[in-house]
């Protein structure tokens, strides 16, 4: 495996664990304001991000690469109202998409088709993540200022259950 590609994949492990921390911070915010459905949604997001990190971890190991763990930064987003985590979430997903695209470009450059095949799943996943984040902002804009609407949205998000990614390495 090309060293630059391996290094980028290794860095992505850390970025995915940071994403989990960030989403747990969002869940913590929503728990503190009594929105347990939003809390549930972001706890599940955190679980997904941890699984993404483990997919990259396993891929590197399966390809004989050493995995190096770095410190995970403390989330630094200011969560001043119910919309702030949602907007920060969309911004973060767009950032993660750019990271995946950078790894894909590096793999393409060295004709690392196996890594590109792995990343195809992540490219699709990031499209879904950005749409979900955008949809949540739209719903909060529509219903978040109305108590009954916020209650229904919170209930909807509380019904989310975790389902592990179906990607074979």
Nearest to 9 by CA among 66, 73, 47, 51: 66
**Burial (CB count <10 Å: 0-12, 13-18, 19+), residue 107:** buried
Give the Cα separation of 92 and 162 in Å (integer): 21
How sure is the predictor about 164, in pLDDT bands with cuts at 50, 70 and 90?
A: confident
Is residue 169 pLDDT above 80, yes or no? Answer: no
Backbone angles phi, psi at 161, to 5 degrees: -120, 155
The 10 Å Cβ neighbour count of residue 138 is 10
Tens digit of pLDDT for each residue in 46-101? 999 999 999 999 999 999 999 999 999 999 999 999 999 999 999 999 999 999 99
The whole model's pTM is what? 0.94
DSSP assignment of 84-108 equals: HHHHHHHHHHHHHHHHHHHHHHHHH
Give the Cα separation of 5 and 108 in Å (integer): 10
How sure is the predictor about 141, in pLDDT bands with cuts at 50, 70 and 90?
A: very high
Is residue 168 pLDDT above 80, yes or no? Answer: no
How sure is the predictor about 165, in pLDDT bands with cuts at 50, 70 and 90?
A: confident
């Amino acid at each position: 495996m090309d060293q630059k590609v391996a290094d980028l994949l290794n860095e992505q492990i850390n970025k995915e664990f940071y994403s989990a921390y960030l989403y747990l911070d969002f869940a913590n915010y929503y728990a503190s304001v009594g929105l347990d459905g939003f809390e549930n949604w972001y706890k599940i997001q955190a679980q997904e991000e941890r699984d993404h990190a483990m997919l990259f971890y396993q891929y590197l190991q399966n390809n004989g690469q050493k995995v190096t763990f770095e410190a995970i930064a403390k989330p630094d987003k200011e969560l001043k109202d119910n919309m702030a985590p949602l907007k920060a979430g969309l911004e973060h997903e767009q950032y993660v998409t750019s990271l995946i695209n950078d790894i894909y470009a590096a793999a393409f450059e060295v004709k690392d088709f196996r890594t590109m095949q792995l990343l195809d799943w992540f490219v699709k996943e990031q499209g879904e993540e950005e749409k979900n984040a955008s949809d949540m902002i739209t719903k909060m804009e529509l219903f978040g200022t109305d108590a009954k609407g916020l209650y229904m949205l919170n209930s909807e998000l509380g019904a989310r259950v975790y389902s592990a990614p179906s990607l074979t390495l």
